[in-house]
């Protein structure tokens, strides 16, 4: 019995989450170890801190969805430390924010294009070779995908089906 929902208050969602449920969270940064980071603007870590606190209590699954265009050099922990004292910032373009580091675990999985290719194709391996572009290719990632004919057909069909989706 799978259903996807939106527009429900976070507190209600977290209250109802069970160990076999999945919470999908978009992220703002990912490092080379596939640790993800989520920006927050409020004291206490924002909504991501609430979600991770509830996850620790209830054991539900979390998918950290993050595109490779959000790759940062260094580590998520280094980046989070750089934002740790944002109350002392003299200037911010927009709201000062922190970066909440989310470390993958048994029920917490980071999924970039690399992992998505593996999952959706049944084992093909993706190697990013370029990123970015103009005229609709902003945020694009160029991948070389290696696998058997069945895996390649599966992933190409999937990409063709969802390319340009909003």
pLDDT in tens, 144-162: 999 999 999 999 999 999 8
145 near 117, Cβ under 8 Å?
yes
Cα pseudo-dihedral 142, 146, 151, 156, rounded to 10: 20
89 near 96, Cβ under 8 Å?
yes
Two tokens, residue 137: 């290719």
Share of the chain above pLDDT 70, in %: 95
Alpha carbon distance 6, 16 (integer Å): 14
Two tokens, residue 91: 């200037």
Model pTM? 0.87
């Amino acid at each position: 019995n799978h259903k996807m929902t939106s527009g429900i208050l976070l507190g209600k969602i977290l209250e109802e989450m069970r160990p076999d449920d999945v919470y999908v969270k978009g992220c703002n940064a990912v490092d080379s170890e596939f640790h993800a980071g989520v920006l927050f603007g409020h004291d206490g870590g924002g909504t991501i801190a609430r979600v991770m606190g509830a996850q620790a209590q209830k054991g539900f699954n979390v998918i950290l969805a993050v595109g490779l265009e959000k790759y940062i050099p260094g580590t998520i922990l280094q980046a989070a430390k750089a934002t740790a004292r944002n109350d002392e910032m003299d200037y911010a373009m927009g709201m000062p924010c922190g970066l909440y580091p989310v470390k993958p675990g048994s029920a917490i999985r980071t999924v970039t294009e690399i992992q998505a290719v593996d999952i959706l194709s049944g084992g093909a391996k993706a190697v990013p070779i370029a990123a970015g572009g103009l005229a609709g290719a902003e945020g694009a990632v160029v991948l070389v995908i290696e696998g058997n004919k069945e895996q390649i057909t599966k992933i190409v069909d999937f990409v063709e089906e969802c390319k340009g989706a909003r």
